[in-house]
Homo-oligomer: A and B are copies of this chain.
């Protein structure tokens, strides 16, 4: 049965206070009179940071909570303890995702799902994923402490292995065939998954049916510098960008750097240099937030006294519009062939990966804006240039994301930093957005 997004988003009753408990009133259409416990949120982020902290380090030294490692297992254990404190009974699905459900008043309504992840890149920071995960627990605990029962059931998720797009991808049925056979951080992912309580043989049971939940919400750090630069505390994500990834192979001719006159050279690295500049030029010459990056490059034979005969490099293009990056890719391809002719090289540029954009539901975007406004917090709409678990959930139901500022735009680094007040603001906006979605 197909259910329209509109039907999923808007229920009929309103959330109300659990009648069995002494309760605060929850006013309609305005923010609740209660908020999250900022001190507890900070404490949990600090406690969690111990799992994967470099030996002898402090919070400022960041974290290596690489998926399936002991640090990851320790962090997950800590998160599940915190979920229990929040009144939840954590369960682990076969993909290693941790869920905690909270009943709603109306059994006929679909659940509101929200969460993030706690695994990190090697030498990562203490905010990427952690802020959204600890805030999800904080939201659940705040509701519990204030004896509020929503109309919709609520469910929080801590997705497993986000950095390799495994947990939420498996839930969305998007995990690539054979992905778990891959060795990561020294062990096959299948074995790693078993270590954290998953079951690779039963992965299909981790699938979440399309339209089986009301919507998905995720609070995350921006990982860019737009909010900080604009001095705006809350970002309303328009969507997660589409990514086109290309492999480029430039074939010249390796020859002696002393004996080959300049006009005779077929220099693959000179051609690559020209192409790197073309990527920059094509991506920046029109307005918009599209980005283009040559991040990986290898030279062969890579000797100071040999004219490079072969260069392999990546090109990555990102924008909310898949059409725009396809067009930019075509333009770069055309210019690459001109460079090949001009340098006596052959240039092969092949698209090797395409991630479609995951557009945030427009009505959830408005709901987040109103939730922030009710707390006196300014907002700015912006794309997410990075991938998130939310992109997989967007395949199943309406999706919305809340961003909080990253100091200096730095991420995937021990220097990653989001001010405690910004973390608390984000958690409160998540809480108010959930209550607002629940009311409508």
Residues of A within 8 A of B (CB): 222-226, 241, 243, 245, 254-264, 267, 269-270, 272-274, 276-277, 280, 283-284, 289, 291-299, 302-308, 314, 316, 318, 384-387, 409-413
Q: Which 9 pairs across A and B sit closest by C-beta, in order of nearness? A: A258-B385, A224-B259, A304-B314, A273-B276, A257-B293, A273-B273, A259-B385, A223-B259, A258-B386
* A224 and B261 contact, CB distance less than 8 A: yes
Contact yes or no, B270 A277, CB < 8 A: yes
Contact for A269 among B226, B297, B410, CB less than 8 A: B297
Given A223-B256, A386-B259, A412-B256, also A302-B291 (CB < 8 A) = no
**Which residues from B are CB-within-8-Å of A273?**
272-274, 276-277
Asked if B295 contacts A256 (CB within 8 A), the reply is: no
- The 18 listed contacts between A and B (C-beta, < 8 Å) are A225-B260, A254-B413, A255-B410, A256-B385, A259-B384, A259-B386, A259-B409, A260-B385, A262-B280, A262-B283, A262-B284, A263-B284, A267-B280, A270-B294, A272-B273, A273-B274, A296-B303, A296-B304
Q: Among B263, B283, B304, point to the contact of A245 (Cβ < 8 A).
A: B304
Bound together, the chains give a CA A226 to CA B224 distance in angstroms of: 54
Q: In the complex, A387 Cα to B254 Cα: how many Å? A: 18
| Residues of chain B lying within 8 A (CB to CB) of residue A274 | 273, 277
Report the copy number of this chain in the oligomer: 2
* Chain B residues whose CB sits within 8 angstroms of the CB of A255 once the complex forms: 409-411
How far apart are A129's CB and chain B's nearest CB, in angstroms? 14
Give the CA-CA distance A296 to B387 in the complex, in Å.
33
- Which of B256, B269, B276, B289 is within 8 Å of A270, CB to CB? B276
What's the least CB distance linking A224 to chain B, in Å?
3
When distances are taken between beta carbons in the complex, the residues of chain B under 8 Å from A272 are: 273
Q: Is the Cβ of A295 less than 8 Å from the Cβ of B308?
A: yes
Residues of B within 8 A of A296 (CB): 299, 302-304
- List B contacts of A225 (CB < 8 A): 260-261, 264
Query: What is the minimal beta-carbon distance from A307 to any residue of chain B, in angstroms?
Result: 6
CA A293 to CA B307, docked complex, whole Å: 7
- For A387, what are the chain B residues with a Cβ–Cβ distance below 8 Å? 258
16 additional contacts (CB under 8 A) given A255-B409, A257-B385, A269-B295: A223-B259, A224-B259, A257-B295, A257-B316, A259-B384, A259-B409, A259-B411, A260-B291, A261-B291, A273-B276, A295-B302, A295-B303, A295-B305, A295-B306, A295-B307, A297-B299
Contact of A258 among B267, B318, B413 (CB under 8 A): B318
Which residue of chain B is the closest to A243 with respect to CB atoms? B258
Q: Closest B-chain residue to A308, C-beta based?
A: B295
Q: Is the CB of B291 within 8 A of A262?
A: yes
- Shortest distance between the CB of A264 and any CB in chain B (Å): 6
By a CB distance below 8 angstroms, the chain B residues around A292 are 262
Q: How far is the CA of A207 from the CA of B224 in the complex (A)?
A: 64
Task: Check if A256 sits within 8 Å of B386, measured CB to CB.
Answer: yes
A264-B409 in contact (CB<8A): yes
